[in-house]
Chain A
Amino acid sequence: MIRQGHIGRSQAILLVWYVLATKVFLNVPSSLLSEAFSAAWLVTLGGGVVAFLGLVPAVTLMRRFEDMPLARVLDEAGGLVLGKIASLGASVTLLAILGVALREFGESVTISTLSRTPMNIIMVTFVALVGYSAYSGIESSGRLTTFLTPFLLILFGLILFSDISDLNLRQIFPLLGPGPGRLAVSMLTRSSIYAEVMVMLILYPYLRERRDALAVATWALALGVAVLTTTEVIISSAFGIEGSERLLFPFLQLARLSTLGRFVTRLDPLFVFLSFFAAALSFSTVLWAAVTHLAEALRLKDHRPLIAPISAVVVAGGLLPRCLLNVIDISFGVIYMWAWIPLVLLPGLFLPLAVLRGKKGTATAGPGGGRR
């Protein structure tokens, strides 16, 4: 077990929530609208339910092994070969999500503020920051998350509130959008947008109160679903379905609609702060989780030596697509289409394996002396 201190319940909820909800600042809301039309908000809702169904066995699996990290749980439950493959798969999935999200974020920065700054500079500076955060450990991220959340909520609320006059709630009808069949399929596949909830499993041994793990994950998931669903409703109400489909970063457009009286004419620069801090918290948590998980799988004593090389790989991977449209294709067409498989299937496979093989956890002292 890599010793990194421990985090409290609210910190864990907030960290996982940021990981799930930050995608509202990226292209995901727009892509969901282009797939499910007026029912996009139902997809985020239904996808959350599917994700929860995958989460329950996953947390059950973790509790079975008490204070073990996910990598060792997978090794114990599935055997060394299957466990290593699954661990590697989980890390690669998280890093792929991170690389694509990083590129999307960089594109949003270019569009919103730094139109003349090369993409690689934006990505490298941001990854350096995220790497520093991951280096400082999950405790630091947790503390900063608690500190920043009230300010970010105020900014988020301010942007949404100032758009109220532009909303037309009739845009969310017809309720079932493309029809019940396609909607159900969308709900299953698009539960992938919550695939990052697996970060919770990596956070698990670092929780001060591990018995709260399911509650923490459920709260984080519920809050993430709430933010995504609300944003979908507001975006479709503000821009209409056809209008929203054409927007690359619909939340940025929402911010551009906002004005605050007659003095501050535009609020979209505030979007920079909001999306920046949310993305930084989210990406640093994902990077920390991926690196820590990988280090655990490789049985390293310290995750920090891996941060720099993996960050470089993430930046390189994020720069591979030629343009933003390619990035969206990879993000929405591949990752957020298939990530539900590791999310739902892996725990569903490994939990029965653990039960059949009679594998249970060792009660070694957890990080920070967490209580079970």
Chain B
Amino acid sequence: MPLLDIWHRIRSIFTHPDRDLEAMQFSLGDRDGGGKSGQGSSGPGESDRGSSPAPQKARKRRGTRGRPPRQGAAPVPHGPGEATTGAGAPPKQLGGTWPGQRRPPGPKGKRAEPIPAKIEEAMHRIAELFNVPTSQDVVIRKFAISSRPPARAFIVYIEGLAEAKEIQRQVLDPLMTLARTSHVGKKGLDVTVLNELISAPGAERKETMEEVVAGVLLGETALFVGIAQTAAFLIDVKNPPGRNPTEPVLERTLRGPQLGFVERHRVSTAMIRAYLRDPDLIVEDFVVGRRSRTLTSMVYVRDIANPKVVAEMRRRLTSLDVDVIVDAGVLEGLLRDHAMSPIPTVLATERPDRAALQISQGAVALLVDGSTQALVVPVTYSTFIHSVEDTYLHFSFAVFLRVLRLAGLTVSTLLPGIYIAITNFHNEMLPAPLLLTISAAREGLPLPLVFEVLFMELSFELIREAGVRIPSPLGPTIGIVGALLIGDAAVSASLISPIIVIITALGALANFVLPEQSTASVARVGRFVFVGLASSFGLYGIALGLFAAGIHLASIRSFGVPFLSPIGAWRPGSLDVILRGPIWDQEKRPVFLRPLDLIRQARYARGWDPGVPRDDDARAGDSGQ
């Protein structure tokens, strides 16, 4: 039908394919086993580094079911020159897979490039791949292993990404000095090097040049040993640039930990591990970005997170085809539902304690190398009203703060609009003295009310934006300029009324109450929309905007979970949406996240308290005994 066809074409312009109901529902099929075949990432427990008991345990429990297919069995072919332009091997722990990588342009079926047999050829090839000597941060160091007979070798690393001192201590020193005392027997030099000489905890042999190149680009050091057939090893002596853990900048709290994520990826993943010392906490790595090869970790608890959410995240990550990911914000834009909507459907947090709490409730977090924020899904509207501090405070105060934040959101978004609507359209609502005060304040002002409001709001936004960009020593200047501009000059010049100053200041203050930057930004932009609607239609316009916003919120989802949950799909659970029960009464995880394990703690967590029944008693009571 032509009408339908035209409609679908128009719709496809505005609509993300994921908006389709089928895609949004929890009807994704049981893809927990690995997303797209052939592009699956390494599953939990697949780490080649996983010699610690925890991953082994996870591997053992999972067995082979639910494990994503390894792609190493079908390595992605690459041409000789491709490594330097972005194609490469996976991070070491992926065991030879190339998650997140699409097949690069070139003839299909081309085989991966093996390590050249002769060491001279290998060195030449490495130099060619890394554009040495044009690229001067790539270090190729030749040396001889002091074995009998001596063997030729060289290492490759990128200055600044690998730790030179550690290379010397853990690689060069043993090979150049200790090798002569080692017995190189039937095992061969390569086995001796790997098992007896290199003291770095992470070291493994690689078979293809792509793997080696990718490892070096991630900061590892490649060692080539010239024996009959050149052997290549990747040694983990990474020292990526980044800060040590510091206080979070945007999500500050009075109580609770004062640590934020940092740019160093493994430090960030370790921070979550520090809060959740659970062997079932899975850190699943992906490489995203053809050129940036950004290491991205999906973090979840295997027996809590809904497998469909995990599978959906895996599917989205492995289907990305972009060249550069420099921050979690870029990844958020690529992964989120409803790409055209300003409403955030992904939580970005810089606090590891918050990420850990969300993960423990059944959410999935993403950590991006080089980013100081974790992305958490699924989320609902209440996530953006919550602060992690609510968990650390007495519940009554936490509820008070949440209500305050909701009021802040309302005031920040609606106050200027309501002021315009009441003053211009419904002044009969106001008591006479207040009406007279407003009228007196506005007497003689040249600008219509809406322009007054817009002038003040835009001035404030300019000051705020300048305050963010301006160098710290000049910060106070902005305060002085702002105070003079807003508080005094504009009023003295009879451009605006003092009431507008109060309205703008209140709106701005209310905006700062919001714990989440993305919500605050939506409120800031929404304020202008409501000013426009109120100046055109009064309260009718505000109702128009509110209803449209409500319908929009009701129609969006975050990884299959309706954004307004649990409204409209209420199921009995522990009270923690806007109102919050005491911590000992938080028996269940949020039902709307559909966790595998709904029960978070004992029904009566205060087992020591003689005032509460013990679990055994409660069970007996429930069964009518």
Q: Count the A-B residue pairs with Cβ separation under 8 angstroms: how many?
A: 113
User: A128-165: contact bitstring with B at CB < 8 Å (1 yes, 0 no)?
Assistant: 01001100110111111111100000000000000000
Choose from A11, A269, A300, A304 the contact partner of B568 (Cβ within 8 Å).
A11
**Distance in angstroms between the alpha carbons of A100 and B538 in the assembled complex:** 24
Is B547 touching A117 in the complex (CB atoms < 8 A)? Answer: no
Consensus secondary structure, chain B interface: helix
Q: Is the CB of A272 within 8 A of B543?
A: yes
A294-306 interface code vs B (CB 8 A; 1 in, 0 out) = 0000001110110
Set of chain B residues within 8 Å of A262, measured between Cβ atoms: 431
B1-9, B254-262, B276-284 - interface stretch:
B1-9
Given A142-B568, A143-B564, A146-B567, verify A301-B554 contact (CB < 8 Å): no
A219 CB–B CB distance under 8 Å: no
Q: In the complex the two chains form, is B431's CB within 8 Å of A264's CB?
A: yes
Which of A113, A117, A143, A147 is most buried by chain B, counting CB atoms within 10 A of its CB?
Answer: A143
Task: List the B residue with the shortest CB-CB distance to A109.
Answer: B540
Expressed in whole angstroms, the Cα–Cα distance for A122 and B539 within the complex equals 13
> Any chain A CB within 8 A of the CB of B426?
yes
Q: Which residues of A contact B622 (CB under 8 A)?
A: none
Interface 0/1 of A255-298, CB less than 8 Å to B? 00000001111101100110011001000100000000000000
Closest to B567 in A: A147
Bound-state CA distance A125–B544 (Å) is 8
B540 touches A272 (CB 8 A): yes
A269 to B421, CA, bound (A): 10
Q: Tell me whether B7 and A305 are in contact (CB under 8 A).
A: yes
A-chain residues with CB within 8 Å of residue B7 when the two chains form the complex: 302, 304-305
Which residues on A sit within 8 Å (CB–CB) of B537? 114, 117, 125
Q: Are A113 and B538 in contact (CB under 8 A)?
A: yes
Closest chain-A Cβ to B591's Cβ sits at a distance in Å of 14
Q: Which residues of A contact B540 (CB under 8 A)?
A: 109, 113-114, 122, 272, 276
Is B200 an interface residue, CB under 8 A from the partner?
no
- Least CB distance from A88 to B in Å reads 18
Q: Which of B426, B431, B550 has the most CB of A within 10 A?
A: B550
Q: Which A residues are CB-close (under 8 A) to B492?
A: none
Is B551 touching A136 in the complex (CB atoms < 8 A)? yes
The chain A residue with its CB closest to the CB of B421 is A269
What size tier do the contact residues of chain A reach?
Answer: 35 or more
Do the beta carbons of A132 and B548 come within 8 Å of each other? yes
| Contact indicator B429/A148 (Cβ below 8 Å) | no
| B425 at interface, CB cutoff 8 A | yes
Which B residues, 512 to 555, have Cβ-Cβ distances below 8 Å to chain A?
Answer: 537-540, 543-544, 547-548, 550-555
Check: A342 CB closer than 8 A to any chain B CB: no
Docked-complex contact B569 and A5, CB < 8 angstroms: no
- Any chain B CB within 8 A of the CB of A3? yes
A361 to chain B, nearest CB (A): 23
**Cβ A147 vs Cβ B21 within 8 A:** no
B4 touches A302 (CB 8 A): yes
Q: Are A3 and B21 in contact (CB under 8 A)?
A: yes
Contact of A136 among B8, B426, B538, B555 (CB under 8 A): B555
* A144-B425 in contact (CB<8A): no
Which of A11, A141, A266 is in CB contact (< 8 Å) with B551?
A: A141
User: A4 and B21 in contact (CB under 8 A), knowing A146-B567, A264-B429?
Assistant: yes
Contact between A265 and B544, CB atoms less than 8 A apart: no
Decide if B431 touches A263 in the complex (CB within 8 Å): yes
For B8, B537, B547, which residue has the most chain A Cβ atoms within 10 angstroms? B547
- Measured in the bound complex, the distance between the Cα atoms of B543 and A280 in whole Å is 10
A305's partner among B4, B430, B543 (CB-CB below 8 A) is B4
Please measure, in the bound complex, the distance between the C-alpha atom of A117 and the C-alpha atom of B540, giving whole angstroms.
11
Using an 8 Å CB-CB cutoff, how does the interface string of A240-264 with B read, 1 for contact, 0 for none? 0000000000000000000000111
B25 close to chain A: CB less than 8 A: yes
B562 close to A (CB within 8 Å) = yes
Q: Is A8 at the interface (CB under 8 A from chain B)?
A: yes
Q: Is the CB of B555 within 8 A of A265?
A: no
User: In the complex, are the beta carbons of B547 and A265 less than 8 A apart?
Assistant: no
Shortest beta-carbon distance, B480 to chain A, in Å?
A: 38
CB closest chain-B residue, reference A115: B425
Is the beta-carbon distance between A305 and B431 smaller than 8 angstroms? no
Q: A5-B21, A8-B568 are in contact. Are A143 and B554 (CB under 8 A)?
A: yes
What size tier do the contact residues of chain B reach? 35 or more
When distances are taken between beta carbons in the complex, the residues of chain A under 8 Å from B3 are 305
Cβ distance A288 to chain B, nearest Cβ, rounded Å: 12
B22 at the interface (CB under 8 A from A): yes
* CA A52 to CA B551, docked complex, whole Å: 31
- Chain B's nearest CB lies how many Å from the CB of A151? 11
**Residue contact B429 to A269, C-beta cutoff 8 Å:** yes
A117 to B426, CA, bound (A): 14
Cα A77 to Cα B564 in complex, Å, equals: 40
Specify the chain A residue showing the minimal Cβ separation from B3: A305
For residue B428, CB closer than 8 A to chain A, the reply is yes
Determine if A266 and B428 form an interchain contact, defined as CB atoms under 8 angstroms apart: yes
Chain A residue numbers with a CB within 8 Å of B11 are 304
Partner of B547 from the list A122, A280, A300 (CB cut-off 8 Å) is A280
Residues of A near B430 (CB, < 8 A) are 265
CA distance A196 to B310 in the complex (A): 44
User: What's the least CB distance linking A253 to chain B, in Å?
Assistant: 15
Bound state CA distance, A302 and B537, in angstroms? 33
Closest to A298 in B: B1
Which chain B residue has the least Cβ–Cβ distance from A142? B568
A132: chain B residues within 8 A (beta carbon): 548, 551
Q: How far is the CB of B514 from chain A (nearest CB, A)?
A: 20
Query: B567–A129 contact, CB under 8 A?
Result: no
How far in angstroms is the closest Cβ of chain A from B208?
A: 47
Of the residues B22, B431, B547, B555, contact of A277 by C-beta under 8 Å: B547
Q: Which residues of A contact B562 (CB under 8 A)?
A: 139, 143
Residues of the A chain whose Cβ atoms lie less than 8 Å from the Cβ of B568: 8, 11, 142-147
User: B324 to nearest A CB, angstroms?
Assistant: 35
Q: Mark contacts of B103-126 with chain A using CB atoms, 8 A cut-off: 1 yes-contact digit, 0 otherwise.
A: 000000000000000000000000
Given contacts A109-B540, A114-B540, A147-B568, contact A140 B4 (CB under 8 A): no
A3 engages B547 (CB within 8 Å)? no
Most buried by A among B7, B8, B432, B540: B540
Report the bound CA distance from A265 to B435 in whole Å. Answer: 11
Inter-chain contact A273/B543, CB cutoff 8 Å: yes
B4 adjacent to A144 (CB under 8 Å): no
Nearest B residue to A114 via CB reads B540
The CA of A264 and the CA of B435, in the complex, are separated in Å by: 11
Known contacts A143-B562, A146-B567, A305-B7; decide if A113 and B426 are in contact (CB<8 Å).
Answer: yes
- Shortest B265–chain A CB gap in Å is 38
B562 to chain A, nearest CB (A): 7
Q: A269-B426, A300-B4, A305-B4 known; A144 and B551 CB under 8 Å? A: yes
- The 3 closest A-B CB pairs, nearest first, are A143-B568, A305-B7, A140-B554
Given A114-B425, A117-B537, 16 more A-B residue pairs with CB atoms under 8 Å apart are A5-B21, A8-B568, A113-B425, A125-B544, A136-B554, A140-B551, A141-B554, A143-B554, A143-B564, A144-B554, A146-B567, A148-B550, A263-B431, A302-B8, A305-B4, A305-B7
Binding site for B on A (CB under 8 A): 3-5, 8, 11, 109, 113-114, 117, 122, 125-126, 129, 132-133, 136-137, 139-148, 262-266, 268-269, 272-273, 276-277, 280, 284, 300-302, 304-305
B residues neighboring A (CB under 8 Å): 1, 3-4, 6-8, 11, 21-22, 25, 422, 425-426, 428-432, 537-540, 543-544, 547-548, 550-555, 562, 564, 567-570
Q: List 23 A-B contacts (CB under 8 A).
A: A113-B539, A129-B544, A133-B547, A133-B551, A136-B552, A136-B555, A137-B21, A137-B555, A140-B551, A143-B567, A144-B564, A144-B568, A265-B431, A268-B428, A269-B422, A269-B539, A284-B551, A300-B1, A300-B4, A302-B4, A302-B7, A304-B7, A305-B4
